[in-house]
Amino acid sequence: MTVKPVIKGVHIVPMGFANAFLIEGDDGLTLIDAGYPGKEAVVFGAIRGLGRSPDQIKHLIFTHGHPDHIGSAAAIVRETGARTYMHPLDIPMAESGGPFRPMTPAPGLLGRVLCNLFFHPDERLEPVAIDQPLTPGETLPIAGGFDVIHVRGHCAGQVALLWRPRRMLFAADVCTNIMGLGDPVGFENLEEGRVSQRKLASRSFDAAGFGHGKPITRDASTRFRNKYGKHPEEVHQLRSAA
């Protein structure tokens, strides 16, 4: 299959309604998220499309533990032996394979419809073991460096990842980019979700990828600032709290 580069070194892997991302580094391939169940062949096809082989996936970093982000993880790890990473608060969901913490639909009719359609807390998946818990504020020494930013609200153990070499933010489900920047289907805690949206708007980056919707290839932090930005003093406070 042909894979689409978002920016140099980053490829989007469509996993149904959800996205995964493949990053080419000097230390092998890194996969961010693992889509819905049964999508491992899409990932392996994407890797072969790059002229590489699945066993070159060395790292599998999860933005959070929802079924649409960990669904094919067990199958991918079995085939590749990739090392797995996740925030400690979500590890129990991944390692049990469900049930999942409930969410409240995002404000508005669309949120209610999509949340019921796409999120089933009682779903059961094949469990996946997590090798390394992520620490908020750390920079993972993978593919040139990923800053780990804790962005709770949609999901307590959610992280966004800022890839340093080409300043691309992986925003997870803090927001979607389906018809412009917008809310995820639901929140465990709406207030915290709003704080996380502002927190990302206070960072500087060029490109952005989302769990759901189209990536942005340039000036992405301007789009975030226009949608979620706050006064400079407040931005400063959010930065200090990061």
Which single residue brings its beta carbon nearest to Zn ion?
A: 66
Minimum distance from CB of 21 to Zn ion (Å)? 13
Burial of 22 (0-12, 13-18, 19+ CB in 10 A): buried
Please give the backbone phi and psi of residue 91, each rounded to the nearest 5 degrees, phi first: -55, -40
Minimum distance from CB of 64 to Zn ion (Å)? 6
Minimum distance from CB of 228 to Zn ion (Å)? 18
Minimum distance from CB of 69 to Zn ion (Å)? 6
- Please say which residue, 127 or 165, places its beta carbon nearer to Zn ion: 127
- Please say which residue, 52 or 194, places its beta carbon nearer to Zn ion: 194
H helices within the chain, ranges in order? 40-49, 67-70, 73-80, 91-96, 109-118, 190-201, 220-228, 232-241
Cα separation of 13 and 135, whole Å?
26
- 8 A C-beta contact, residue 100 and residue 93: yes
- Please say which residue, 54 or 71, places its beta carbon nearer to Zn ion: 71
Minimum distance from CB of 173 to Zn ion (Å)? 4
- Please say which residue, 40 or 68, places its beta carbon nearer to Zn ion: 68
Give contact residues for Zn ion (rule: CB under 5 A). Answer: 66, 68, 173, 211
- Please say which residue, 15 or 24, places its beta carbon nearer to Zn ion: 15
Token code pair at residue 45: 């096809």
- Find all residues with CB under 8 Å of 134, minimum gap 6, and list them: 61, 85, 86, 87, 88, 140, 148, 159
